[in-house]
Structure 1
Amino acid sequence: MFDGVHLGHQSIISKLNAISKGKDLESAILTFWPHPRKVFSPSDDLKLLNTIEEKKYLLEKNDLQHLFLKEFDEDFRNLTGEEFVKQVLVNKLKVQHLIIGYDHTFGKNKSGDFSLLKKLGPECGFEVEQVEAVNYKDLNISSTQIRNALSSGEIISANEMLGYNYSITGKVVHGKKIGRTIGYPTANIEVDAIKLLPKKGAYIVDVFVNNTPYKGMLSIGTNPTVEGKLITTEVYILDFNDDIYGEEISVNFRDFLHEEIKFESLEKLIDQLDLDKKRTDEYLF
């Protein structure tokens, strides 16, 4: 799936590019959409690290010559491992050298793995190698580990495993406009439903408006102090006063400020926002 295009994925791409140049072959990645779990368990509310646009951008900027994006549908899920190798990798993609991750399985009932590829390689005319896991604090880096870190508010750990700062992008939409009444006007971001939001709470972020970076403090939650019900994603942009309703902005997560808090009064909320602003302003970006 290459969800996140994290350091583990990047090690595969690095090896791919080195071999393609050394053997004068064309480099290509085959990935899927939607996530197989959405096909196997449609009711599973799985959130992903990347939207399809983000994944394509992250993969394409790694000097690949080809990106194949295959729809993961019923026909495709029912291919056995051997059928996938022969029908897709060999007949369609003409693979000559195949690189897979350390724990990769494929095909119906996970019938394909590194052993099958080693067996079929000589018969079908390709070489295969397996890339070792990339470790972070004694853990194998994986999309699941990064999702868990984000869901726990461990932004720095998630960013270190990704190799870049986790981000969200969305259109600025109208909210309740309570922030402007207390001196902290926020941009309410409409985030793609498939995208994983980090744990509820407040964060130090970079905000990109028309490709210009600003410091910001972002809140994910229900605004319990004013009896909010729906989860919103709102960002206060430091030293910024422009009207950006309807515009698309991006936010890069830097650090976790604190858990979501229900305050006794708006005055207590403002006191906390003042502290958050001071910490954000002093943060080394």
Structure 2
Amino acid sequence: MKIIKNLASYSKKKPLALSIGMFDGVHIGHQHITEKLNKVAAEKNLESAILTFWPHPRIVFNPKDDLKLLNTIEEKTYFLEKHGIQNLFLQDFSEGFRNLTGEDFLRQILVEKLHVKHLIIGYDHTFGKNKSGDFSLLEKMAPECGFEVEQVEAVDFSGKHISSTQIRNALSQGKVKEAGEMLGYVYSVSGKVVHGKKIGRTIGYPTANIEVNTLKLLPKKGAYIVDVFVKDQHLKGMLSIGTNPTVSGKTLSVEVYILDFDEDIYGEEISVNFREFLHDEIKFENLEQLIQKLDEDKMRTEKYFS
């Protein structure tokens, strides 16, 4: 997959089958679009492409919103390439770009710059300043501008349209299985193993502290059963997201206890897949109660994997 970070320097003339959007999560609804793009591209001798934005428009318009994302740029790139997309345009959501009207965006970017011949958009997609571009504008201008346009229907899950917002809401409630069903894959977080307070090792549960990208959405505070991937190994673990209230912690941390593992992995990249929610974050009266709960969690984790 070719990644184009600067539209100004893009000069390729190969016509495109393209879709526009954030594609945060590259969930089942997005995968429906990528499948259509690839099919159209193959049939019409085009190249498939996605035009997405960075930073997220909501972050630009509402900097106090503290929006967290389902994918880092690296993860989004990985998933789009996995689903066969040939070109990924990462457009900076600059002031000049976001002030383009829907019609200007269509003519200057899609037609003149990118040579789009087939455009596929989501059921609720709008574009351009003040959301002045929509499907009706595309339908009106398509014949004049020499491209075809189609709008895909929403994909439903449990009676609701699958969306990045729906998935974020599920994760914020600890519903990692439900989120995974909407994503089409198990939700994960990755990062470098960093030094923590090392309290876990004093109670028989040494943990790896994961330094997670600050824009990445973490599921609800609590304990989870997870797959662990580190040093080319696939391991079993139980993970905690929280502030360690039992020992008067204040800072949010992500810590994973890896079963049957005692290697030094400080500085290593680690990834965890969220399999099942165990329980909410708990403040215990003493370390003995904490250890008892960890023992119970370990038993549940071992039973899950067995």
Confirm or deny a common fold (TM above 0.5). Answer: yes
Who is 1:107 aligned against?
Answer: 128
CA distance in 2, matches of 1:249, 1:156: 21
How far 1:210 moved relative to its partner?
2.0
Question: Which one is further off, 193-202 or 62-71?
Answer: 62-71
Please, which of 28, 33, 38 is the counterpart of residue 49 of structure 2?
Answer: 28
* 1:120 alignment partner AA: M
CA distance in 2, matches of 1:63, 1:45: 32
**TM, length-normalised to structure 1:** 0.98
Question: Which one is further off, 59-68 or 105-114?
Answer: 59-68
CA distance in 1, matches of 2:86, 2:55: 23
Q: CA RMSD in A?
A: 0.9
Moved segments of 4+, more than 3 Å: none
CA distance in 1, matches of 2:81, 2:271: 19
How far 1:36 moved relative to its partner?
0.3
How far 1:22 moved relative to its partner?
1.3
Question: Aligned pair 1:243/2:242, yes or no?
Answer: no
Who is 2:58 aligned against?
Answer: 37
Give the secondary structure class of the aligned counterpart of 1:20: helix
Please, which of 203, 209, 212 is the counterpart of residue 233 of structure 2?
Answer: 212
CA distance in 2, matches of 1:162, 1:65: 21
Q: Calculate percent identity across the aligned residue pairs.
A: 74
**Any idea what the Cα deviations from partners look like across 1:101-160, whole Å, max 9, x if unmatched?**
111001000000000000110000000001110000001000000000000101111010
Question: Which one is further off, 128-137 or 204-213?
Answer: 204-213
CA distance in 2, matches of 1:154, 1:62: 25
Who is 1:4 aligned against?
Answer: 25
Please, which of 131, 143, 147 is the counterpart of residue 168 of structure 2?
Answer: 147
How many residue pairs are counted as aligned between the two chains?
A: 285
How far 1:38 moved relative to its partner?
1.3
**Structure 1 segment 47-196 matched on structure 2, within 5 A:** 47-196=68-217
Gaps spanning 5+ residues in structure 2: where?
A: 1-21
**TM, length-normalised to structure 2:** 0.92
CA distance in 1, matches of 2:276, 2:52: 31
How far 1:67 moved relative to its partner?
1.0
* 1:93 alignment partner AA: L
CA distance in 2, matches of 1:215, 1:199: 20
* 1:23 alignment partner AA: K
**Any idea what the Cα deviations from partners look like across 1:181-212, whole Å, max 9, x if unmatched?**
11100000001110111100000001100232
* 2:295 alignment partner AA: D
How far 1:63 moved relative to its partner?
1.2
* 1:127 alignment partner AA: E
CA distance in 1, matches of 2:155, 2:94: 30
Please, which of 285, 288, 292 is the counterpart of residue 264 of structure 1?
Answer: 285
Give the secondary structure class of the aligned counterpart of 2:33: helix
Gaps spanning 5+ residues in structure 1: where?
A: none
* 2:253 alignment partner AA: T
CA distance in 1, matches of 2:301, 2:270: 19
CA distance in 1, matches of 2:219, 2:208: 18
Who is 2:295 aligned against?
Answer: 274
Question: Aligned pair 1:223/2:244, yes or no?
Answer: yes
